[in-house]
Amino acid sequence: MLKHIAITGLDNEHFDRWLVLWNQTVDAVVPNDAAAQVFREAASRIADSLLTGIKVQRDGLRAVSKKPAAPYASSPIFDQDNLPDALRSHHSTKDGTWGLLRMLEGEVELVFVDPPSSRTVTVDNPAPIPPQALHFVKPDGPMKMQVEFYHNHPLGGDQADN
């Protein structure tokens, strides 16, 4: 790993080239197709993991974290006075739709019904809402909030529990 981190500019294109050469060599020296495939796949996994390690060493985890997806729709901005009753009582997103509750100001309590759980949603900690999960919102003082809608987990798979 250290030898590779020291090589400035070492990137995907070099590993792709490395794998081409590796596969050519495998084809030349391994007579059995099934065995050759094992060598090809192993090399590809090693290349991925070495390159990921190099990138993370250089730039931290942001180097490999997924870019957040864009919402396909957003609710209006609600405050403590105009928050619709429908959001204050049990409701859910439709099948296949994730919500992301974002606070623009203040905070609210987000309560899930089954299994029962609740969390405080703040400006710094938006809350994903899984498809069809029954929930409701309890404002506690002045706030501004908006719900974004996504086809996939809005914060990416790595943060699926958040």
Site residues (vs ligand HEM, CB under 6 A): 3-4, 7, 10, 14-15, 18, 43, 46-47, 50
Q: CA nearest 109: which of 138, 82, 77, 145?
A: 138
| Minimum gap (Å) between residue 20 Cβ and ligand HEM | 11
Give buried/exposed letters for 38-51 (b at 16+ CB in 10 A, else e): ebbeebeeebeebb
Please, which residue, 17 or 138, has the CB nearer to ligand HEM?
17
As a whole number of angstroms, the distance between CA 31 and CA 29 comes to 6
As a whole number of angstroms, the distance between CA 79 and CA 33 comes to 64
Please, which residue, 47 or 69, has the CB nearer to ligand HEM?
47
| Minimum gap (Å) between residue 15 Cβ and ligand HEM | 5
| Minimum gap (Å) between residue 3 Cβ and ligand HEM | 4
Please, which residue, 21 or 73, has the CB nearer to ligand HEM?
21
Please, which residue, 39 or 112, has the CB nearer to ligand HEM?
39
As a whole number of angstroms, the distance between CA 80 and CA 142 comes to 6
As a whole number of angstroms, the distance between CA 62 and CA 135 comes to 31
| Minimum gap (Å) between residue 2 Cβ and ligand HEM | 7
